[in-house]
Amino acid sequence: MFTAKKTVSRLVVACLALMPIVCADAAAADVYLRADVTTMTMHDGTQVTMWGFAKDSSFGAMDGTVTIPGPRIVVPPGDTVLNIHLDNNLTAAATGLSMGHPVSLVINGLTQKLTPVRHGAAPYPQYEGRIRSFNKEAAPGNASPVTFSWYDVEPGTYLYFSGTHPQFHVQMGLYGAVTKNFAAGQPYEGVFADREALVFYSEIDPLFHSMAASDNYGPGKAMSSTIDYAPKYFLVNGESGTTMNRVWTGAAGSVLIRFVNAGLMPKCPAMQEHYMEVVAEDGFAKNYPEARFSMVLEPLKTKDVIVTTAAPTEIDFYDRRGYVSIQATPSMGTVMLAQ
Amino acid sequence: MQPTRTGAILGFALALAFLLAVGPAHAIIEGISGTNFAFSARAGTTSFPDGSTMPTWSFCQTGGDFQYPGPTLKLTAGQTVTITLKNELPPQAGNVSMVFPGHKVTATGGVGPPGHLVREAANGGGTVTYTFTVPHPGTYCYYSGTNMDVQIDMGLVGAMIVYPSTPGQAYDSADSAYDREYLFLETEMDPVIHQAMACAQAVTVDTTAFFPVYWHLNGRSAPDTMAMANADWLPAQPYNCWPQMEPGERMLMRIINMGRDTHPFHHHGNNATIIARDGRLLQSPGGTGADLAESDFTQTVACGSTQDAIFTWTGEGLGWDIYGHAPTDPTEPNEYTPDHGKPFPVTLPQEQELVFGGLYSGSPFLGAPGYLPPGEGGMNPYGGFAYMWHSHNEKEMTTNDIFPGGMMTNCIIQPPGTLPAP
Ligand SMILES: [Cu+2]
């Protein structure tokens, strides 16, 4: 994850330009993400075309695997800088569309100077001037990495996702989690947890994906809007068809569970027997954690909870809104091992 | 001014019939107590004010009437409770179970295939027994932990209240003291799911397409929420939801969201102080009382979650004397005295210019019913103030597209001395 030389040279430039004092002795996390196309098999055998992120060892290495959600980015304690070097392989050839898609990156809760991109006159003159990306873009098939940098990475749980056509790209799967601990065993200053697990929610409307993959989504095409969004698959850490999920604590003590919702619908993570202490929301530690057995997790929301047990324990939970994938049979899904 | 003309005699008589709901033995939250319960999950029929009847599944007392929602369990902190659940649901329902969030439950008997949340009562008369203690007072819930996408919408939900040893409190804190308590159990129904399950088409119902058009409080849609409890024309829905209080009293609102959507429950009339969620007082570590309580006028409770709030009302802030007193008149109990004798700031229109609602008493003053044209008003014989309490997701104030209805009731502030003593 560290490429010290490159980091230093880039930081020098960044520091001169932006915030020299903070950067003076900051280490940086460097991640090489690639946006690419993959196919996912749902629990009922349905194949869905997804766009997602892979983590490569370097730009152009293409040695990572596209996953839904994208690779979790862990910023080490003490690092305040995150650099994501983006390789965009969403070309016309890879996507099967008449043109490739640019991709940008945003992380709500972490600041970066956004440079929005507007539509030009082509190919849709009627949309000229309209913003299509919240941030600078990596063009499809970019020959060199486009680097997105955040200089104020605070401890917390965050969501990264494509800031380009987000109504399209987020549905397609271009999202993942960013986490940072304050220190080992200390997710936030003064908040302690022995182990942790990540629970990442997202959704798939297969009709949208098939229309997108067949170039039938867009202005003037058979599907011109996402207004009829109707997800049929509800994913927990990319797994469809589960009706409940389990964290195995492995030992007595406290487990931090980081809940992230990249879906378009609110969730209500509910615990069966345990109370969860809601210790943080949107990457901010709460002064007064609240004990809950169910809570709302809105789209784009992150909430961190701590469950403390006196013995190794199975922590069962589910979305109390009752949304489970179509044709799901009772299923626990892959047990998450708290680590 | 103390209007004393009481018109609308007919309406008065009708409304008295409604008010009998409060009755002398005022178990304002109806429910059952004990430590051993025999429950059956059964199919029955509920009815709603649009004239519809809905195939419904619910938890009932074995041998008792079908009822929706399930019986409200009224328990005492420290008790150990045993509930034996029998599955009398039709074959298409499959297995059924009960979960009690926030409690460590021991389940014996029944079936427990891998991937299931909890041991279940098998279809065809199977039973399972749940045992648990209720160490902490508070507002809780129970619901089916089996095929929740279907069974919760079908009606398999209920309330569980654990009382502390101190009477008149919700928790072991004086901040939770109350004069009257009311339950607001929120649910909704998508008739497509109900019709499909009634037709035994369980395998084809797409619960991801969930689109409710019925919304309930304690199992009833408005205006049935304001009919008496155990009304004989609602045999499957014994619980009403008609909060009433006198000025100066503390009303405890126990709000439980058993639905799949959240409902912004808005109480006109005043803010309430949220003192607890999920059965835990909002108290800081080392603090005393509900020192983290919040004041709010719209309470949105997470699905599967509970919330307790204290609502009070004296008329403070209105800027006029709610009794229509002259400055020399004596004060009423708990009157907001800074406004004593202050005149009503509006010139009332003539009767010919008014449209009368059933809850209009004929005057703007508390406890002072006034003239009403024949056949108008009549549901407010004591001259109380009516505040509509409802889901402020306004479409949820309908019953299958008919307004008014749905998740709505009226809180009536009754004049001093008219309600049975708390
Ligand atoms: Cu209103």
Confidence of residue A52 (pLDDT cuts 50, 70, 90): very high
Question: How far apart are the CA of B139 and the centre of ligand 1, in A?
Answer: 25
Cβ-based contacts of B284 with chain A (< 8 Å):
288
Residue A313 lies in a domain: no
Give tens-digit pLDDT for B230-240: 999 999 999 99
pLDDT at B201: 58
Residue B14, pLDDT above cutoff 60:
no
Residue B1, pLDDT above cutoff 80:
no
Give tens-digit pLDDT for A266-320: 999 999 899 999 999 999 999 999 999 999 999 999 999 999 999 999 999 999 9
* Record: contact A330-B146, CB cut-off 8 A: yes
Confidence of residue B113 (pLDDT cuts 50, 70, 90): confident
Give the CA dihedral A31, A278, A269, A181, nearest 10 degrees: 10
Mean pLDDT score of chain A: 92
Distance of CA A251 to the CA centre of its chain: 28
Both tokens assigned to A300: 């784009």
β-bridge pairing B36-47 and B244-245: unpaired
Give the CA dihedral B140, B408, B282, A257, nearest 10 degrees: 70
Confidence of residue B203 (pLDDT cuts 50, 70, 90): low
Residue A165 neighbours by CB under 8 Å, 6+ apart: A101, A132, A133
A320 to chain B, minimum CA–CA distance in Å? 6
pLDDT at B15: 40
Give tens-digit pLDDT for A119-167: 999 888 988 999 999 999 999 999 999 999 999 999 999 999 999 999 9
Percentage, residues of chain A above pLDDT 70: 92
Give tens-digit pLDDT for B281-312: 999 999 999 999 999 999 999 999 999 999 99
B148 touches chain A (CB under 8 A): yes
B70: phi > 0 → left, psi -120 to 50 → alpha, else beta; which?
Answer: beta
Residue A96 lies in a domain: yes
Residue A158 lies in a domain: yes
A281 to chain B, minimum CA–CA distance in Å? 16
Determine the Cα angle at A324 with ends A321 and A326, to 5°: 140
d(CA A315, CA A248): 6
Question: How far apart are the CA of B171 and the centre of ligand 1, in A?
Answer: 30
pLDDT at B218: 98
Specify the CATH number for the domain of residue A85. Answer: 2.60.40.420
Alpha helices in B165-208 (DSSP H): 191-198
pLDDT at A219: 86
Residue A90, pLDDT above cutoff 70:
yes
pLDDT at B378: 87
pLDDT at A5: 36
CA quadruple A134, A136, A141, A145: dihedral sign: negative
Confidence of residue A9 (pLDDT cuts 50, 70, 90): very low
Residue A151 lies in a domain: yes
Kindly tell me the burial class for residue B276, based on how many C-beta atoms sit within 10 Å of its own C-beta (0-12, 13-18, 19 or more). Answer: buried
* Record: contact A330-B147, CB cut-off 8 A: yes
Three-class secondary structure of residue A167 per DSSP: helix
* Record: contact B208-A231, CB cut-off 8 A: yes
* Record: contact B303-A270, CB cut-off 8 A: yes
Q: In terms of Cα–Cα distance, which of B15, B95, B32, B81 is closest to B360?
A: B15
Residue A148 lies in a domain: yes
B143 to chain A, minimum CA–CA distance in Å? 11
Confidence of residue B276 (pLDDT cuts 50, 70, 90): very high
Tokens 């903070």: give the residue: A22
Percentage, residues of chain B above pLDDT 70: 93
Mean pLDDT score of chain B: 92
A286 to chain B, minimum CA–CA distance in Å? 12
A255: phi > 0 → left, psi -120 to 50 → alpha, else beta; which?
Answer: beta
pLDDT at B115: 80
Identify the domain containing residue A43 by its residue range: 25-183
Q: How many structural domains is chain A composed of? A: 1
pLDDT at A210: 97
pLDDT at B2: 40
Read off the DSSP letter of residue A335. Answer: P
d(CA B239, CA B258): 15
pTM higher than 0.90, yes or no? yes
Give the CA dihedral A214, A220, A223, A228, nearest 10 degrees: 160
A241 touches chain B (CB under 8 A): no
Residue A293 lies in a domain: no
Distances (CA, A) of A113 to A135, A136, A150, A179: 8, 10, 9, 20
B115 touches chain A (CB under 8 A): yes
Q: What is the mean pLDDT of residues B27-35?
A: 91
- Bigger pLDDT: B20 vs B31: B31
Residue A5 lies in a domain: no
Residue B9, pLDDT above cutoff 70:
no
Judge whether B146 and B96 are in contact, CB under 8 Å. Answer: yes
For B:263-282, CB contacts with A below 8 A are: 277-278, 280, 282
At residue B195, what are phi and psi to the nearest 5 degrees? -65, -40
Distances (CA, A) of B96 to A222, B118, B119, B186, B207: 43, 10, 9, 21, 17
pLDDT at B202: 55
* Record: contact A266-B280, CB cut-off 8 A: no
Residue B27, pLDDT above cutoff 90:
no
Residue A95 lies in a domain: yes
Confidence of residue A170 (pLDDT cuts 50, 70, 90): very high
* Record: contact B152-A330, CB cut-off 8 A: no
